[in-house]
Structure 1
Amino acid sequence: MSASFAPALSAAREAASHQHYPQGALFVVATPIGNLADITLRALHVLALVDAVACEDTRHTQQLLRAYGIERPGAQLLAVHQHNEAEAAGAVIEHLRHGLRIAYVSDAGTPAVSDPGARLVAAVRAAGLPVVPLPGASSITTLLSAAGMTQEGGFVFAGFLPTKAAERERAVVLLAAEPRAVVLLEAPHRIEALAGALAALGERLVTFGRELTKQFEDIVTLPARDGPAWLAGDANRLRGEFVVVLHGASVAADAGDDQRVLKLLLAELPLKTAVKLAAEITGRPKNTLYDAALALRKSEDEA
């Protein structure tokens, strides 16, 4: 344990030990996404209290627990990951039925959102057993809080887009029709492809968050068309996990934006549907967009 966490464990016992932690319950525990100091006092107390910890990667979780001064034998770490979650849930439920307290953690952040855990939680609830969430770090809300979005209407979490180029481009077409902000996740080896696909959205703002909460954290907001150039400007920008926020569509789009949106939508949708969605995205009158769409179709036919 780092000496700096000794007071945290003591504070966790003092602050959280008097609360109720039911037996036979699954505790879904959020863990830091990078900075170890982002653990909550209640999470520390529960991770020390429970009878076993179910986790995405037992080796990773063992290192995390030891960093906080929590020692557990390997037998108290249960592997529950995306490849065995359905089967492993049965073993967890049996432990719970015997009155044991089980915590579940993913490798980083809040479980059961993008990481594994949802199937486990669903199975435990279906068995009539309690699930207790312990909130904490989340890469999604971390970047949203720093993106400076001014549009109203909330956000949509889309996670990872398809890996195949054609499917990814079709997904971006649908995102163009989404007036709310959209949160995406991406791995470093695919971030250039994602930025290239989003570039078709032109002036629509995108916030890239890389290595959030870590030493080399990088957050930038720029027009979607400038994303590929920003990534290419420094080789280090291709390292680390990414969270990306596609800001909500502006209602004050210019004529150039009208053309870009219509081209994207017309490539995948019937003319009337494309015009309807374009009107919702840009705020332009449908009649104006309908005329523009007809002109685009005519120019394409003549080309």
Structure 2
Amino acid sequence: MTTESFIIITADVAYRPYRIPPRCRKARPVPESFTHHIDIPAVSSDDAPVVAIVPDDRGYLGTARGGDVPMRCFNGQLYTAVLDGENPVVAGSARFPAAVKHTSYENGSFEAMVEAKKQFDGILIVDGNVWKSAEEPHYTIMTMGLGGNHGGTYLELSFFDRGMAGRRFPVTEYDHAVDSAVEFAQKRGDTNSIRMIRETPKVTVLDPTAFKIPTEASRLAGAEDEVRALVAKAAGLLAGPVSRDSLRSVTKLVEEADSLFWQHGLDTVAPTL
């Protein structure tokens, strides 16, 4: 059972409401301040277990030397540690003090309060140490140049949602991601990239259920269902009286279906039996 508590950050918030100063006739921004208490969720390591060990060879997760870092999961959200060099940041320390000052140029106290709280969005305290929310990592096939070993093909452990969906693979499918990247490199003639692809750092997955990016089979099945639904809708519009508006709608539906083919690397989609 999860036992969630909170630590309290005391924020001294300065803002600039419109006031009419003494002996003045017009309102103007006047510096004022108020104190607000911000609750930060705090749990034990048992409630936020480590679900993966992630290689941070490019320092995306803040490691000083690009080492392996643990990734925790709490309430379906992934977290990585906030580090001070190679050491975890402790709640209440100089790096994460219990009292902070925030200066806002908002004119309303509510807006200033929201702004002050925003800097603590995604923060979780685990056994007294500070952790921050993280995007789900995945493997993605990246290319440079025109192929034929002019540039190259690479398999990257990415923390950003970018590129074509058909070139992204969940961390639970490392071997399949490597094989797909090698096949892609061979098609482009990037044979010099194959050794590097096979040396792509591997995430050690301890709890596969914590990761939500679908497998390639699930992703393709979902994309095919979307294409069938778009085609069926277009066919329904063409089955009745045809107008310029209906043709525009059909064109838009076809373009959406074509985009799915391109994004997911589909060749054909079989009709529903």
Length-normalised TM-score, structure 2:
0.24
Which structure has the greater CA radius of gyration? 2
Which has more helix, going by share of residues?
Answer: 1
Length-normalised TM-score, structure 1:
0.23
Which has more strand, going by share of residues?
Answer: 2
